[in-house]
Amino acid sequence: MFWKRTIPIAIVATVGFLTLFGWFVDEPHIKNFVEDDATQWYDILASFAIFLGALNLLKMQSQKILKKQTGWQYSIFAVGGFIFAIIAGFVIKGNDAIQWGAHVTGKGTLFKWMFEFMFTPLSATMFALLAFFVASASYRAFRIRNFEATLLLISGIIIMLGRVPIGIKISAWFVLYLTILGIGVVVNNAFKNKQITLGFVVGGLLLTTIAGFWMGWPVDQPALFYLPILQDWIYNIPNVAGARAIMMGIGLGIFATSMRYILGIEKSYIGE
């Protein structure tokens, strides 16, 4: 119990405290440990983790083939591609003029051929299929079910139209007309009065038309309703604010999880 539980927790706590508080202590040896040694240790451990993960993948796929489980035919391609990549990377250099290590990017080598004519087309195919999954997910997310979904739909349409050439051609006055009609729907739902709704919509459209004739109907004016400018504002203000809030939440979550590991509260890494 001492070697399996106490020692690992003590090592994690010590290294965790040094790494965490090393950013707040102006001591050369501790700063060197945090900025250099700890990073190298992480790279070494990650390398072994990748190696073990690859062996585990090969083991699982091989067992699937031997037991002929569901989809075992696909596992043949997985194992074959795994072995082929290892041979191309570690066994066959393919060009005596190229040193080991540089052959993975050198022209005329087997690894480079595999990367250009197998990996790259497969990656492009996966991303092409991903576009359809994104479109399907967007359709489900953009369906108007509540106020938040409505905002998401409107913001998505503005972002998409504002970033394509056709968005530059759409006049700000057309968007302003649509905005007045949309606000009219909100007014109708709020007051449940046809006269008030009609007066608001007609008055808004009339004032917009008068302002348009007075200003000469410029495509990019009023700037607030011009799609390229509007999408820039959405992307740079609300989007950045939301992203920063998410990153702050992630940071607090990482800190809380790190403290659980350092204080020995979280013991999943030792199997508990």
pLDDT of residue 247 exceeding 90, the answer is yes
Cα-based distances in Å from 40 to 15, 47, 254, 261: 13, 11, 21, 20
Q: In 3-state terms, what secondary structure has residue 235?
A: helix
Q: Which residues contact 103 (CB under 8 A, 6 or more apart)?
A: 93, 94, 95, 109, 111, 112
Q: In 3-state terms, what secondary structure has residue 76?
A: helix
Would you kindly state where each structural domain of the chain is located, as residue ranges? 2-138, 146-236
Lowest mean pLDDT, pick from 120-124, 145-149, 194-198, 213-217 = 145-149
What is the enclosing helix (H) or strand (E) of 193?
A: none
In terms of pLDDT, which residue wins out, 245 or 128?
245
**Position 190, amino acid:** A
User: Tell me, what's the pLDDT at 82?
Assistant: 86
User: Tell me, what's the pLDDT at 246?
Assistant: 94
User: Tell me, what's the pLDDT at 170?
Assistant: 82
pLDDT of residue 153 exceeding 80, the answer is no
Per residue in 42-89, pLDDT (tens digit) is 889 888 988 888 889 889 999 999 988 888 888 998 888 888 888 888
Per residue in 155-200, pLDDT (tens digit) is 777 787 777 788 788 888 888 888 888 888 778 878 888 888 888 8
Burial 115-138 (b: 16+ CB within 10 A, else e): beeeeeeeeeeeeeeeeeeeeeee
> For the chain, first and last CA: distance in Å?
12
User: Tell me, what's the pLDDT at 106?
Assistant: 75
Query: 166: which DSSP letter?
Result: H
User: Tell me, what's the pLDDT at 188?
Assistant: 81
**Position 41, amino acid:** W
pLDDT of residue 1 exceeding 70, the answer is no
User: To the nearest whole number, what is the mean pLDDT of the chain?
Assistant: 82
User: Tell me, what's the pLDDT at 144?
Assistant: 62
Beta strands in 109-167 (DSSP E): none
